[in-house]
Amino acid sequence: MNIPFPTLLEKAIQLVNSEKSNQTVLFEITKLLQQEVAHYNWVGFYALDKPNAMLRLGPYSGLPTEHTEIPVGKGVCGQVALSLKSKIVQDVRKEENYISCSIDVKSEIVIPIIKNGEFVAEIDIDSNTPSPFTADDEEFLVRLCLALADRF
Ligand code: SME
């Protein structure tokens, strides 16, 4: 059974507040989420490379992906970089602007990370379960992204 989101958020915030480096903290958060939430199969961060309008893959946990850079506007990740709004795709087959990382992935959630009023990065979570995401996932991840924005 998954640990409750408030407990998971507390653990993640402890990492954010630790003395560890930004990359270590971000990686350990991806690992924590991927290990503790059964429907989170791939968890990673993409950071904005503003001059090149590109998202670049940062720390992640899960299978390696060939999509280490994604143009702003492309795929679910690229859409969020433009809209600056969270996006839940419960069935990736129904998403026209989608970049597939693995045929096992059924659904995806992406939450923007805003620092000093500007979009700097996003957290991307792939699930091998169809339609697994609820308002609780979104609320948890929005809170997490608020808490960790200064690590970008
Ligand atoms: N599916 C994403 C691409 C990134 S992978 O999920 C790791 C997208 O459509 O943007």
pLDDT class for 2, splitting at 50, 70, 90? confident
Cα(108) to centroid(ligand 1), Å: 8
Whether residue 124 has its Cβ less than 6 Å from ligand 1? yes
- pLDDT computed for residue 1 by the predictor: 64
Q: What's the pLDDT tens digit per position in 94-126?
A: 999 999 989 999 999 999 999 999 999 999 999
Which among 100, 102, 111, 128 is the best mutation to test ligand 1's pocket, defined by most ligand atoms within 8 Å of the CB?
100
Domain count, the chain: 1
Question: Is residue 138 pLDDT above 70, yes or no?
Answer: yes
**Cα 26–Cα 31–Cα 35 angle in degrees, nearest 5:** 150
Cα(124) to centroid(ligand 1), Å: 7
Domain span at 116 = 5-151
CATH number, position 41: 3.30.450.40
Question: Is residue 7 pLDDT above 70, yes or no?
Answer: yes
CB-based contacts of 93, cutoff 8 Å, min separation 6 = none
Whether residue 126 has its Cβ less than 6 Å from ligand 1? yes
Distance, first Cα to last Cα, the chain: 31
Give the count of beta carbons closer than 10 Å to the beta carbon of residue 4.
12
Average pLDDT of the chain, as a whole number: 97
CB-based contacts of 23, cutoff 8 Å, min separation 6 = 58, 59
| Average pLDDT rounded to a whole number, residues 38-44 | 97
Atom of ligand 1 nearest to the CA of 78: 10
Whether residue 65 has its Cβ less than 6 Å from ligand 1? yes
Question: Is residue 14 pLDDT above 70, yes or no?
Answer: yes
